[in-house]
């Protein structure tokens, strides 16, 4: 791999944060953890610090009476100290480290709203002069509710009331981490700003949308140290968009480079006669939908092409993606290659294994499974079979990308529920072979702009048609108070032999968050139902051992249990066709796409299904909108667009779980226009100047380096 020199002009920015005054080894480590989040080796550098942007501006200028303040918000308010405890006593030894607790009364026209101010591990010599009984103070911080009492833990500011003006009116809020204090962070960022060199601009200003954006340097200065307050918001927006565009463009360029250097002409033209897929289709108990046929044709054309396949198979839950993947695997086996399917969970991998083995027999496919649970001789046999080519298809979890797994000739990598995996994991599977074709599957319908943001020019096959006979699901939202009606209804259904799920949000009871745990609900449902039906209640949750989970799923599938109390482990892909009721408890806590995924577990047969969304009143505006959207639509694409409006893209894609965030600055719903623009910009640029040797190309290399797209640069240097 070619070594890529960093441009000299950028060197100052890539010095470790410890070059800044006041940053010793401890702070450096804390900053590295905060800024790099484990994605790059420490230490964090000045550019990492400068690209750490404020997420909000808080307004402390408005002082409100304590009794009018809303918990969960930053408030600035005047108070009088009533009692103090914990200030005296030993700093060390027994009795030390007791929190300091101060009760205060709000100072507003005779109102009696009070709260408690708490300091943990506080230095009494700092607190004692300030907090005296009767003292009048202005404090600013986040008001919280703790056991029904108002509390402010470690106020951001606490000053004598006559010095309230010393509290800054507006302040930037940065994402924080352990060992990093807000004031210190602001200080080191300001100290890093002068290291920014003036760089040649890489923006193509002939695009009208980019014409008036500031330079990167000016944008960063405005964002970190520019004046705040409503009047300056208009200067911040172009600055933010400048950064957003740079970030998106660097990503799009990287993708365009990958396409140019490792996809185009980098595939194997596979010889496919189609016999094995035909045998497979012949053996199916149903006919393929025309969407499935079309997707299979598209994939087959990719396999035969000399470009590498990078295709996304999008289809709503239950649309039959697994089968399409299996057809591609049969084609690949025919051409002498092996296929691997990686699923995000054990439950799902086992289910795929069943499907693939069952339907694959007709095509003579030798299918194996590999997860963390396969041990000893069986595991070794699978590893051997993969290495010598006896196995055509392997299904598994993350275990597939681990070291001991080698393939004789891996030709096709299929990633199910692709958004659950990080980019690195997806690439790792492809790296187990050479010229591996990639098929990513998702049931989360991703709006076009996001597909672009993630993949650039990704080919997409859509299963926009469900297998025949599927009926829309009757969905209703009910407040928790209607619980006993819901149980009665479930009981009547069970009497008729109907099966259903009862979904709960959390496993263990937690004192802090009052959510029903699955275990608790399992118990109450069993005691609420008559004995014969109580015996037919099952339980499955993420904390159970894998074989217990399997047993619970198998009992439910076989009808030994009829009501399955579950946490979100059933969310992805689980297929029990005759389950037709779903109750989702605390539905207001789930995201829209998650609700849709969950609901997709029912409505698979030809019987009308019912989904009951139990919510805790009162509903916030967003939760209300979500539940309404669920009631009004069964269409995953419509729901995904709605979800994108209602929440940020990170959550929609589930990237928060997988620890991979596409954007730090840009916002996929706010900056859709920039994504589209950067996409075109990058494509045209790489088409004209793939090695980025022209003047603008050289400037763009700086951009790639700033946003740490080293992998793409290396690809270009070696290509």
**Read out DSSP for 113-162?**
-EEEEEESS--HHHHTTT--TT-EEEEEEE-EEETTEEEEES-SEEEEGG
- Choose the contact partner of 447 out of Mg ion, ligand ADP, none; CB within 5 to 8 A by kind: none
- Name the phi and psi angles at 450, rounded to 5: -75, -35
Q: Which stretch binds ligand ADP (CB under 6 A): 137-145, 180-188, 284-292, 528-536?
A: 284-292
- How far apart CA 242 and CA 599 sit, in angstroms, is 40
Q: Mask 521-560, x = binds ligand ADP (CB under 6 A)? A: ----------------------------------------
Closer CB to Mg ion, residue 573 or residue 636? 573
Closer CB to ligand ADP, residue 75 or residue 365? 365
- Distances 365 to 284, 297, 331 between C-alpha atoms, Å: 14, 20, 10
The C-alpha angle with vertex 584 and arms to 578 and 590, in degrees rounded to 5, equals 125
664 DSSP assignment: S
Q: Which long-range contacts (CB under 8 A, 24 or more apart) does 486-489 make?
A: 486/583, 486/612, 486/614, 487/525, 487/528, 487/529, 489/612
3-state SS, one letter per residue, for 255-324: HHHHHHHHHCCCCCCCCCCCHHHHHHHHCCCCCCCHHHHHHHHHHHHHHHCCCCCEEEEEECCCCCHHHH
Q: Which long-range contacts (CB under 8 A, 24 or more apart) does 127-131 make?
A: 127/87, 127/100, 128/87, 130/158, 130/159, 130/160, 131/81, 131/84, 131/87, 131/100, 131/102, 131/158
Q: How far is CA 385 from the centre of its chain?
A: 35
Residue 654 makes contact with ligand ADP by CB under 6 A: no
Minimum distance, C-beta of residue 445 to ligand ADP, in the bound complex (Å): 12
Minimum distance, C-beta of residue 280 to Mg ion, in the bound complex (Å): 18
* Interacting residues with ligand ADP between 435 and 454 (CB under 6 A): 443
**Quick one: which of 222, 250, 252, 289 contacts ligand ADP (CB under 6 A)?**
289
Minimum distance, C-beta of residue 466 to Mg ion, in the bound complex (Å): 13
Closer CB to Mg ion, residue 325 or residue 386? 325
Closer CB to ligand ADP, residue 267 or residue 315? 315
By CB atoms closer than 10 A (0-12, 13-18, 19+), residue 61 is exposed
Q: Which stretch binds ligand ADP (CB under 6 A): 130-138, 314-322, 385-393, 553-561?
A: 314-322
Minimum distance, C-beta of residue 573 to Mg ion, in the bound complex (Å): 4
- How far apart CA 561 and CA 536 sit, in angstroms, is 4
- Choose the contact partner of 385 out of ligand ADP, Mg ion, none; CB within 5 to 8 A by kind: none
Taking each helix axis as running N to C, give the angle between helix 233-258 and helix 695-706, from 0 to 180 degrees, rounded to the nearest 10.
Answer: 100
Minimum distance, C-beta of residue 594 to Mg ion, in the bound complex (Å): 15
Residue 288 makes contact with ligand ADP by CB under 6 A: yes
- Choose the contact partner of 575 out of ligand ADP, Mg ion, none; CB within 5 to 8 A by kind: ligand ADP
Q: Mask 464-503, x = binds ligand ADP (CB under 6 A)? A: ---x------------------------------------
Residue 286 makes contact with ligand ADP by CB under 6 A: yes
By CB atoms closer than 10 A (0-12, 13-18, 19+), residue 282 is exposed
Minimum distance, C-beta of residue 167 to ligand ADP, in the bound complex (Å): 54
- Choose the contact partner of 320 out of ligand ADP, Mg ion, none; CB within 5 to 8 A by kind: ligand ADP
The C-alpha angle with vertex 307 and arms to 305 and 312, in degrees rounded to 5, equals 90
Residue 575 makes contact with ligand ADP by CB under 6 A: yes
- Count of residues that interact with ligand ADP, criterion CB under 6 A: 17
Q: Mask 292-311, x = binds ligand ADP (CB under 6 A)? A: x-------------------
**Read out DSSP for 424-466?**
HHHHHHHTTSSS-EEEEEESSPPPHHHHHHHHSS-EEEEE-SP
- Choose the contact partner of 289 out of Mg ion, ligand ADP, none; CB within 5 to 8 A by kind: ligand ADP
Minimum distance, C-beta of residue 441 to ligand ADP, in the bound complex (Å): 7
Q: Which stretch binds ligand ADP (CB under 6 A): 285-293, 478-486, 487-495, 502-510?
A: 285-293
Minimum distance, C-beta of residue 362 to ligand ADP, in the bound complex (Å): 14
* Interacting residues with ligand ADP between 398 and 427 (CB under 6 A): none
Q: Quickly tell me which residue has 């730090």 as its tokens.
A: 664
Residue 320 makes contact with ligand ADP by CB under 6 A: yes
- Choose the contact partner of 317 out of Mg ion, ligand ADP, none; CB within 5 to 8 A by kind: ligand ADP
Minimum distance, C-beta of residue 507 to Mg ion, in the bound complex (Å): 24
Q: Which stretch binds ligand ADP (CB under 6 A): 63-71, 318-326, 369-377, 558-566?
A: 318-326
Minimum distance, C-beta of residue 331 to ligand ADP, in the bound complex (Å): 17
Residue 603 makes contact with ligand ADP by CB under 6 A: no
Among residues 577, 324, 303, the alpha carbon closest in space to that of 462 is found at 324
Q: Please, which residues bridge with residue 323 across strands?
A: none
Whether the Cβ atoms of residue 394 and residue 369 lie closer than 8 Å to each other: yes
Minimum distance, C-beta of residue 86 to ligand ADP, in the bound complex (Å): 57
Whether the Cβ atoms of residue 311 and residue 280 lie closer than 8 Å to each other: no
Whether the Cβ atoms of residue 81 and residue 135 lie closer than 8 Å to each other: yes
- How far apart CA 668 and CA 671 sit, in angstroms, is 5
* Interacting residues with Mg ion between 534 and 593 (CB under 5 A): 573
Residue nearest to Mg ion (CB): 573
Closer CB to Mg ion, residue 572 or residue 682? 572
**Quick one: which of 77, 250, 322, 593 contacts ligand ADP (CB under 6 A)?**
322
Closer CB to Mg ion, residue 505 or residue 573? 573
- Name the phi and psi angles at 444, rounded to 5: -85, 105
Closer CB to ligand ADP, residue 54 or residue 320? 320
For the chain, the C-alpha Rg in angstroms (whole number) is 29
Work out the widest C-alpha separation in the chain, in whole angstroms. 89
| Residues at the contact surface with ligand ADP, assessed by CB under 6 A | 286, 288-289, 292, 315, 317-323, 443, 467, 573, 575, 604
| Residues at the contact surface with Mg ion, assessed by CB under 5 A | 573
């Amino acid at each position: 791999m070619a070594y890529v020199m960093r441009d000299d002009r950028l060197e100052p920015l890539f010095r470790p944060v410890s070059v800044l005054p006041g940053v010793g080894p401890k702070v450096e480590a804390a900053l590295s953890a905060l800024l790099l989040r484990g994605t790059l080796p420490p230490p964090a550098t000045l550019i990492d610090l400068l690209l750490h942007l404020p997420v909000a501006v808080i307004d402390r200028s408005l002082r409100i009476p304590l009794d009018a303040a809303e918990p969960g918000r930053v408030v600035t308010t005047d108070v009088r100290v009533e009692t103090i405890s914990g200030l005296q006593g030993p700093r060390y030894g027994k009795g030390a480290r007791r929190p300091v607790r101060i009760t205060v009364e709000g100072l507003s026209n005779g109102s009696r709203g009070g709260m408690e101010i708490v300091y943990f591990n506080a230095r009494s010599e700092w607190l004692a002069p300030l907090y005296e009984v009767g003292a009048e103070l202005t404090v600013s911080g986040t008001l919280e509710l703790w056991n029904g009492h108002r509390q402010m833990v470690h106020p951001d500011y606490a000053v004598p009331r006559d010095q309230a003006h010393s509290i800054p009116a507006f302040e930037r809020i940065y994402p924080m981490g352990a060992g990093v204090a807000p004031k210190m962070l602001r200080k080191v960022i300001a100290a890093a700003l002068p290291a920014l060199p003036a760089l040649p601009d890489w923006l193509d200003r002939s695009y009208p949308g980019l014409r008036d954006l500031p330079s990167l340097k000016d944008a960063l200065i405005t964002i970190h140290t520019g004046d705040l307050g409503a009047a300056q918001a208009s200067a911040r927006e172009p600055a933010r968009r400048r950064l957003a565009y740079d970030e998106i463009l660097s990503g799009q360029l990287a993708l365009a480079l990958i396409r140019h250097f490792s996809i185009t002409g980098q595939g194997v033209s596979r010889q496919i006669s189609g016999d094995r897929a035909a045998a497979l289709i012949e053996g199916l108990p149903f006919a393929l939908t025309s969407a499935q046929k079309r997707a299979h044709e598209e994939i087959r054309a990719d396999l035969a092409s000399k470009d590498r396949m990078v295709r996304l198979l999008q289809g709503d839950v239950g649309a039959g993606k697994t089968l399409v993947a299996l057809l591609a695997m049969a084609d690949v086996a025919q051409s002498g290659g092996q296929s691997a399917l990686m699923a995000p969970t054990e439950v799902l991998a086992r289910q795929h294994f069943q499907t693939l083995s069952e339907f694959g027999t007709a095509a003579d496919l030798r299918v194996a499974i590999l997860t963390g649970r396969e041990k000893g001789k069986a595991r070794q046999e699978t590893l051997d079979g993969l290495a010598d080519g006896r196995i055509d298809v392997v299904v598994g979890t993350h275990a597939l990308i681990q070291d001991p797994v080698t393939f004789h000739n891996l030709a096709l990598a299929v990633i199910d529920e692709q958004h659950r995996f990080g980019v690195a994991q997806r690439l790792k599977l492809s790296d187990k072979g050479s010229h591996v074709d990639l098929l990513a599957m998702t049931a989360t319908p991703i709006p076009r702009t996001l597909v672009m943001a993630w993949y650039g020019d990704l080919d997409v096959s859509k299963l926009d048609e469900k297998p025949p006979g599927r009926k829309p699901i009757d969905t209703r939202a009910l407040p928790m108070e209607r619980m006993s009606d819901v149980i009665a209804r479930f009981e009547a259904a069970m009497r008729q032999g109907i099966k259903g799920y009862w979904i709960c949000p959390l496993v263990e009871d937690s004192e802090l968050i009052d959510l029903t745990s699955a275990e608790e609900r399992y118990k109450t449902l069993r005691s609420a139902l008559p004995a014969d039906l109580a015996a037919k209640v099952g339980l499955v949750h993420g904390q159970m051992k894998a074989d217990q989970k399997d047993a619970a799923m198998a009992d439910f599938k076989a009808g030994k249990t009829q009501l399955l109390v579950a946490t979100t482990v059933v969310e992805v892909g689980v297929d029990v066709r005759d389950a037709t009721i779903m109750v989702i408890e605390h539905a207001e806590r789930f995201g829209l796409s998650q609700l849709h995924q969950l609901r997709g577990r029912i409505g698979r047969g030809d019987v009308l299904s019912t989904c009951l969304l139990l919510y805790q009143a009162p509903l916030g505006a967003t939760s209300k909108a979500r539940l309404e959207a669920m009631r009004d639509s069964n269409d995953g694409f419509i729901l995904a667009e709605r979800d994108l409006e209602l929440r940020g893209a990170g959550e929609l894609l589930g990237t928060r779980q997988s620890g991979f965030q596409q954007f730090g600055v840009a916002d996929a719903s706010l900056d859709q226009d920039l994504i589209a623009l950067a996409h075109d910009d990058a494509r045209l640029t790489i088409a004209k100047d793939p090695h980025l040797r022209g003047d603008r190309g050289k400037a763009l290399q700086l951009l790639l380096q700033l946003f740490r797209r080293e992998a793409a640069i290396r690809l270009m240097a070696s290509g």
